[in-house]
């Protein structure tokens, strides 16, 4: 057999696999995209939906739309946003084209069921034109004119590049990257002052992965350094710097409409400084921060969830003219048990329903306050579940001296769920305690640092006298009790009464009835 025949046969088979494979894949893509958008909508509690899907042989085109509340339509249109309407609601649409596999040649070679890539750029020209039209005063016109020359830089900073990939198994991966950049706006609308805005944003990356069964998701957000400087005639110079941050979420669908799981966050710190020509620079800064939140189904009862959270912040400082007042290292840990799964599930669904109602031509329901009647049955079920909150440890430590807090909150036995008609009915059965333990050496340390910034700081003897006088005042009011070198404040709730250091202070039910 001639080699040319063999090559031709291989090419023909490959072409056949690509053509037939692309068609078979296109039949699966629509279901996958709809499941993906539905899962994303549930996770965000925001009503995204696929309004149109056109399935082709090698490519598919689909539209995702988002309802816009009626109250937002006019101001958004004045700013230049394109608002669509179908007679029942107003919405913003996003269109995407997908190329089908099994082999995709687009921005490289991809072995995947489907792939899409593109760039989203926020067009600010029309928004600025609308703003200038409504600016009114000459000063505002001058400010907008100064910004006009920076539209390109602002658009570039906000430009997002994205890719969407669908594997042969049906897993979905969405990757997005915000370009970032620098903006420097100097505006002199008056002769006696200058307004300046400097913004620097390193690239921001976002990855969202969804499993083929649409029941688990891994999300990663990564940002670089973000800095801002703002000054002006009516604005004290402000400097803000946020260090690189990484946030990871590993979540699952715990119930229809409700996702939760483990969240971790890490960052190197935050620094904020406000300058004052009379008082000098004032600000705060932190060291490295890490946080973990974990929510899971109760293994003894799948209708309930348990959760834990932990926060560590190494180095919290207040600064004055560059001199730090060290507050110490912060730690926080909390645990919850027996929270009814249906409560966050219902809240998630309610958020989407309220948003859709607010997008109707004649909205009858807007975002409002807590409606007990709508939650009555759920509250009754939650009471039966016996929820428990444990404040394991909240503390701030400086050189071995600290302020620490711990406590718990629960419901006493005897509360009959069917008798609950308002939150005030629950108050007599709430039981809890909170203890605040203040090391006097911690207070003394902070006071020494703070008063040292004064032109004529007090002597050690004068400082101790002031602290003791203040402590005696709070002791006489019953807010603290001295135990050795510590000041203790104990809060207790029982039988519809709040006690402070053992003395009745107020009725708990009054908090719910009087606010």
- pTM comes to 0.78
User: What's the Cα-to-Cα distance from 68 to each of 40, 76, 158, 189, 363, rounded to whole Å?
Assistant: 18, 10, 22, 36, 11
Is the pLDDT at 43 greater than 80? The verdict is yes
Is the pLDDT at 497 greater than 50? The verdict is yes
CA distance 82 to 74: 11
Q: What is the pLDDT of residues 370-424, one digit of tens each?
A: 556 667 777 888 888 889 999 988 999 999 999 999 999 998 888 887 788 877 8
Q: Which of 175, 220, 231, 229 is nearest to 201 (CA)?
A: 229
Maximum average pLDDT range among 112-121, 214-223, 295-304, 460-469: 214-223
Is the pLDDT at 467 greater than 50? The verdict is yes
CA distance 63 to 333: 43
Which tops the pLDDT comparison, 257 or 57?
A: 257
Q: Which of 510, 487, 278, 472 is nearest to 401 (CA)?
A: 487
Which tops the pLDDT comparison, 494 or 423?
A: 494
Say what the pLDDT of residue 145 is: 66
- The β-bridge partners of 483 are 486
Say what the pLDDT of residue 16 is: 37
Mean pLDDT of the chain: 78
Q: Are 215 and 250 in contact (CB under 8 A)?
A: no
* Reported confidence tier of residue 367, pLDDT bands at 50, 70, 90: very low
Q: Which of 274, 271, 281 is nearest to 316 (CA)?
A: 271
Number of H helices, E strands in the chain: 10, 29
Q: What is the pLDDT of residues 84-124, one digit of tens each?
A: 666 666 677 777 777 765 555 556 555 556 667 777 776 66
Instruction: Compute the Cα dihedral for 127, 132, 134, 140 and give only its sign.
Output: positive
**What b/e sequence results for 216-226 when a residue is b if at least 16 CB atoms lie within 10 Å of its CB, and e otherwise?**
bbebbbbbbeb
């Amino acid at each position: 057999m001639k080699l040319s025949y063999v090559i031709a046969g291989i090419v023909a088979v490959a072409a056949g696999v690509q053509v037939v494979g692309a068609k078979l894949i296109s039949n699966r893509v629509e279901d996958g995209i709809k499941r993906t958008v539905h899962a994303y909508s549930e996770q965000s509690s925001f009503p995204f939906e696929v309004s149109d899907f056109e399935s082709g042989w090698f490519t598919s085109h689909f539209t995702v739309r988002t309802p816009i509340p009626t109250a937002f339509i006019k101001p958004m249109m004045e700013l230049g946003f394109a608002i669509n309407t179908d007679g029942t609601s107003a919405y913003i649409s996003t269109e995407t084209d997908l190329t089908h596999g099994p082999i995709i040649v687009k921005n490289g070679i991809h072995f995947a069921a489907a792939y899409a890539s593109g760039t989203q750029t926020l067009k600010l020209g029309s928004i600025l034109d609308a703003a200038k039209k409504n600016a009114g005063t000459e000063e505002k016109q001058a400010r907008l004119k100064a910004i006009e020359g920076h539209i390109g830089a602002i658009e570039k900073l906000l430009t997002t590049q994205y890719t969407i990939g669908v594997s042969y198994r049906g897993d979905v991966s969405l990757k997005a990257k915000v370009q970032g950049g620098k903006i420097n706006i100097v505006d002199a609308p008056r002769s006696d002052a200058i307004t300046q805005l400097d913004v620097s944003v390193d690239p921001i990356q976002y990855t969202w992965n969804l499993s083929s069964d649409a029941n688990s998701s891994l999300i990663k957000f990564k940002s670089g350094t973000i800095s801002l400087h703002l000054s002006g005639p009516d604005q004290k110079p402000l400097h803000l710097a946020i260090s690189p941050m990484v946030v990871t979420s590993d979540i699952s669908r715990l119930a229809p409409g409700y996702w939760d799981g483990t969240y971790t966050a890490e960052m190197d710190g935050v620094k904020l400084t406000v300058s004052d020509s009379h008082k000098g620079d004032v600000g705060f800064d932190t060291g490295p921060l890490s946080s973990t939140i974990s929510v899971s189904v109760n293994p003894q009862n799948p209708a309930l969830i348990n959760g834990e959270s932990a926060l560590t912040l190494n180095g919290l400082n207040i600064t004055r003219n560059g001199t730090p007042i060290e507050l110490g290292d912060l730690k926080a840990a909390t645990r919850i048990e027996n929270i009814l799964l249906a409560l966050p599930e219902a809240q998630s669904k309610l958020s989407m329903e309220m948003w859709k109602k607010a997008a109707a031509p004649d909205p009858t329901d807007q975002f409002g306050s807590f409606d007990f009647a709508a939650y009555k049955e759920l509250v009754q079920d939650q009471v039966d579940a016996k929820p428990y909150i444990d404040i394991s440890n909240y503390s701030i430590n400086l050189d071995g001296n600290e302020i620490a807090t711990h406590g718990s909150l629960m419901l006493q036995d005897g509360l009959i769920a069917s008798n609950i008609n308002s939150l005030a009915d629950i108050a007599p059965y709430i039981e809890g305690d909170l203890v605040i333990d203040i090391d006097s050496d911690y207070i003394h340390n902070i006071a020494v640092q703070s008063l040292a910034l004064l032109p004529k700081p007090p002597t050690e003897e004068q400082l101790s006298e002031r602290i003791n006088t203040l402590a005696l005042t709070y002791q006489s009011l019953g807010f603290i009790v001295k135990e050795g070198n510590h000041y203790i404040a104990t809060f207790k709730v029982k039988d519809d009464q709040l006690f402070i250091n053992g003395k009745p202070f107020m009725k708990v039910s009054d908090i719910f009835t009087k606010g």
